[in-house]
């Protein structure tokens, strides 16, 4: 059988190196979550604890997913959640309007990335772009905020 350019025969031993070298479509490549509310932010900043590092396989496509909630202390703030590279390059921008003060707003989104290889880090950053409130990423053990990486092929 040939898989990802390698021919396998009966009796071959699959090593850890093989697992890291050959793609695993649909498999989780990395996951990190926070279970406590973030520090307040107004200007763009990292959300502490929401970064993930994995070994990317050349030629594969990865989906980087954010799932979490945000809250503002005042009505009508606009909050952006960014999925970024380790160098803070935005690969996805997720926007939410907070029309009611202190109401929790769920945010979910993803970016598809190709052309990666070796050790790769992506992270979540947040910013209040409109308004005057104190804004946070809300999290607890029952509803964590997370960043997840899936090898999609």
Q: Is the pLDDT of residue 135 over 80?
A: yes
Q: Which pLDDT score is estimated for 15?
A: 74
Residue 99 to residue 77: CA distance in whole angstroms:
7
Across the range 9-36, mean pLDDT stands at 78
- Mean predicted lDDT score pLDDT of the chain: 91
Across the range 68-95, mean pLDDT stands at 97
Q: Which pLDDT score is estimated for 16?
A: 67
Q: Is the pLDDT of residue 18 over 70?
A: no
Q: Is the pLDDT of residue 5 over 70?
A: no
Q: Environment class of residue 66 by beta-carbon count within 10 Å: exposed (0-12), middle (13-18) or buried (19+)?
A: buried
> In this predicted model, which residue has the larger pLDDT, 11 or 123?
123
Across the range 137-144, mean pLDDT stands at 96
Q: Strand locations in the chain, DSSP E?
A: 2-3, 6-7, 27-34, 45-56, 62-72, 77-85, 90-98, 105-113, 118-130, 135-138, 145-151
Q: Which pLDDT score is estimated for 66?
A: 98
* Banded model confidence at residue 2, pLDDT cuts 50, 70, 90: very low
Q: Which pLDDT score is estimated for 13?
A: 77
pTM of the full predicted structure?
0.84
Report pLDDT digits (tens) over 23-75: 566 889 999 999 999 999 999 999 999 999 999 999 899 999 999 999 999 99
Residue 60 to residue 116: CA distance in whole angstroms:
7
């Amino acid at each position: 059988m040939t898989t990802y350019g390698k021919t396998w025969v009966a009796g071959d031993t699959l090593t850890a190196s093989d697992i890291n070298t050959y793609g695993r479509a649909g498999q989780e490549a990395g996951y990190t979550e926070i279970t406590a509310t973030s520090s307040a932010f107004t200007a763009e900043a990292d959300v502490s604890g929401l970064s993930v590092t994995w070994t990317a396989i050349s030629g594969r496509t990865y989906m980087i997913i954010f799932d979490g909630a945000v809250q503002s202390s005042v009505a009508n703030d606009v909050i952006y959640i960014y999925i970024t590279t380790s160098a803070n390059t935005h690969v996805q921008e997720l926007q939410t309007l907070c029309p009611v003060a202190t109401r929790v707003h769920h945010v979910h989104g993803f970016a598809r990335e190709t052309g990666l290889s070796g050790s790769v880090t992506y992270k979540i950053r947040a910013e209040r772009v409109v308004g005057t409130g104190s804004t946070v990423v809300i999290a607890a053990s029952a509803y964590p905020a997370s960043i997840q990486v899936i090898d999609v092929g």
